[in-house]
Structure 1
């Protein structure tokens, strides 16, 4: 893989975060594993790292729910990172009684978490994603939006604004607002919705190309075939962006009686779905075995990590929760070799130290328990 810029965490400090009153970990390796019993707090450490980028973290938890039980309701995550040989300090957290998540970089308050994307791109794979291919379309849209955010930092705000505009339109329809008022809001919905759809389609196209460029023979993880499908995308096929906006506006205007009766907007990219197929077997991922689905998902995340590096120039930090336990020894070794070749920092969790025996020699393994983490053997 071509060398790209790569941020590396050298210190992680948690305060009032989940089960940790205070935890500080010094890090020196690119491959890091946290080992401990279920419930020891391994995933909480990965979640903390996930807050060092834009978004709501790997659990999408309410900020108030993250604070340690018995604490004062506030929490924080701080990190020292090295990027281009320069050390930077990243910090984020929430304070009791103060709305929203605060972000600070090198001591300066930032307006939003999107500023963190200049320093780190963070991707993750967690057990909750195991049902991605069989679950509701909303889960796959959210997954696709996170993939898009990693290569298009403006996408998160775009999606948030689009969803907010949709909620406003539904409320106005319910309240019987004037046509003029609705038309003005629908212009905003159409503009944002079209931009969201185009960004998603670009990500799918780039990822599809990235996957197809990889050799099929000898691949440890099966290749996925991707498409973004929905009535919205079907209607907008071959239209320019401006024509799509105009057409969406007409759809919204014509659909007002139907949408008012339904209590929701029944046309738009908020109803589209990411379709995934097992390429070699030419069958829907949802019909593949549980093991094949897991392998497809791992392959998809690895391909996206490569795409993120290629598009942004910044190799992402990867968070892999309990991923090794589902793989046989040969596939585990192949996964670790692939992760090492990506060049970015990787954090993994597992209940058994033996799961990480095939890690490269310079890797670090931390034992987690009793609300602490220390290097294995230390």
Structure 2
């Protein structure tokens, strides 16, 4: 397998997106820092980039809520990038009340958002993720599914189909549907559950291997131990996919009464969890200090960026919102050096340009203000 193709945004234009009426910015560097006061629109720029891939974007916002307040029409994001197909132009937008985004690639309408994954993969780390290890399991499942989607473009559709079929089963149970009707729904549910669980398990294995390989680099980020856990995964050990499907169908039949009383399906990969441990201290990540949890998360995201580059054959674009401010100078310098070594394009935000003093000379620092976006001039 050859070296991954280097993917990089060259320009970005926003229209009626969040606080921006109209703005365009050139991004002619691998490492880009966006510096400005709180509320200036730095994270909004990252969110615009996250709309250029499959999924709901880094804020998981409703499409109508992204439109600039008082705007008469919808919003749009346009980008020019260098990627697997050379220079490519991507446009994403939404009209008020429309059921989804309109996506155009080199002037042609895209069949689905999954087509965006052929051109670029976008990863992100946000302050809202700082409580990932202590929050509910559902947050960790969504985090893991985003990781899987970056390496397996079909995963998003499988997860959506699984959730839709689970809702259908719950509805049939609530309405007192016949056993034959439930048999038909559960026959659809079982292979979807197995496919989703297997994709998650494979990605976790790839991440485990990459995290182990990071030990040789001497990075100042603690090594994380990760595992996919749950009753479904425990049963899956040692079983083939077809055997697991049969077992899950039998379980669903046996638990219809319990699930009807609960009002939901209580067994399956939709109840699984991503378990993360601080290996050096042999403790759950949830019990580590706030700083250690942040460092664990950064190490995990760096490992995922490498896995994505290898499996997708292209380097991802990485969005880091307010990461530098929460690292000590040594870890901050090490992070910048590692990002440069990986050859990724990375967009970072911060309120103080001094946080980015250790960026390589060829990096770009932009000032984000209500008046617009411009190159940062020291002093």
Q: TM-score per shorter chain, which class? A: over 0.9
Residue 160 (structure 1) aligned with residue 160 (structure 2): yes
Residue 141 (structure 1) aligned with residue 141 (structure 2): yes
Residue-by-residue CA offset, 1:142-201 (whole Å, 9 max, x unaligned) = 000000000000000000000010011101111111111111111111110110000000
Within 5 A, what are the aligned runs for 1:10-29?
A: 10-29=10-29
Unaligned segments of structure 2, at least 5 residues = none
Contact 2:64/2:97, CA 8 A, preserved across alignment: no
What is the aligned partner in structure 1 of residue 117 from structure 2? 117
What is the aligned partner in structure 1 of residue 374 from structure 2? 374
What is the aligned partner in structure 2 of residue 54 from structure 1? 54
What is the aligned partner in structure 1 of residue 361 from structure 2? 361
Question: What is the rounded CA distance, in whole Å, between the counterparts of 2:61 and 2:281 in structure 1?
Answer: 37
How far the C-alpha of 1:96 sits from its partner, in A, is 1.2
Secondary structure of the residue aligned to 2:228 is: strand
Contact 1:20/1:371, CA 8 A, preserved across alignment: no
Unaligned segments of structure 1, at least 5 residues = none
Question: What is the rounded CA distance, in whole Å, between the counterparts of 1:267 and 1:73 in structure 2?
Answer: 44
What is the aligned partner in structure 1 of residue 345 from structure 2? 345
Secondary structure of the residue aligned to 1:247 is: helix
Within 5 A, what are the aligned runs for 1:205-354?
A: 205-215=205-215, 218-354=218-354
Residue-by-residue CA offset, 1:38-73 (whole Å, 9 max, x unaligned) = 111100000000111111100111111111001025
Question: What is the rounded CA distance, in whole Å, between the counterparts of 1:46 and 1:244 in structure 2?
Answer: 40
Check 1:243–1:84 CA distance in 2 against 1; reply closer, same or farther (3 A cut).
closer
How far the C-alpha of 1:328 sits from its partner, in A, is 1.3
Question: What is the rounded CA distance, in whole Å, between the counterparts of 2:97 and 2:126 in structure 1?
Answer: 31
Secondary structure of the residue aligned to 1:301 is: helix
Secondary structure of the residue aligned to 1:314 is: coil
Question: What is the rounded CA distance, in whole Å, between the counterparts of 1:121 and 1:172 in structure 2?
Answer: 38
Within 5 A, what are the aligned runs for 1:57-96?
A: 57-84=57-84, 86-96=86-96
Within 5 A, what are the aligned runs for 1:169-208?
A: 169-208=169-208
What is the aligned partner in structure 2 of residue 35 from structure 1? 35
Q: TM-score, structure 1 length as denominator?
A: 0.98
Secondary structure of the residue aligned to 1:315 is: coil
Contact 1:190/1:245, CA 8 A, preserved across alignment: yes
Contact 2:215/2:223, CA 8 A, preserved across alignment: no
Contact 2:7/2:317, CA 8 A, preserved across alignment: yes
Check 1:6–1:17 CA distance in 2 against 1; reply closer, same or farther (3 A cut).
same
How far the C-alpha of 1:83 sits from its partner, in A, is 1.7
How far the C-alpha of 1:27 sits from its partner, in A, is 1.5
Question: What is the rounded CA distance, in whole Å, between the counterparts of 2:307 and 2:14 in structure 1?
Answer: 30
Q: TM-score, structure 2 length as denominator?
A: 0.97
Question: What is the rounded CA distance, in whole Å, between the counterparts of 1:73 and 1:249 in structure 2?
Answer: 48
Question: What is the rounded CA distance, in whole Å, between the counterparts of 1:343 and 1:282 in structure 2?
Answer: 32
Instruction: Report how many residues are paired.
Output: 377
Contact 1:216/1:223, CA 8 A, preserved across alignment: no
How far the C-alpha of 1:84 sits from its partner, in A, is 4.8
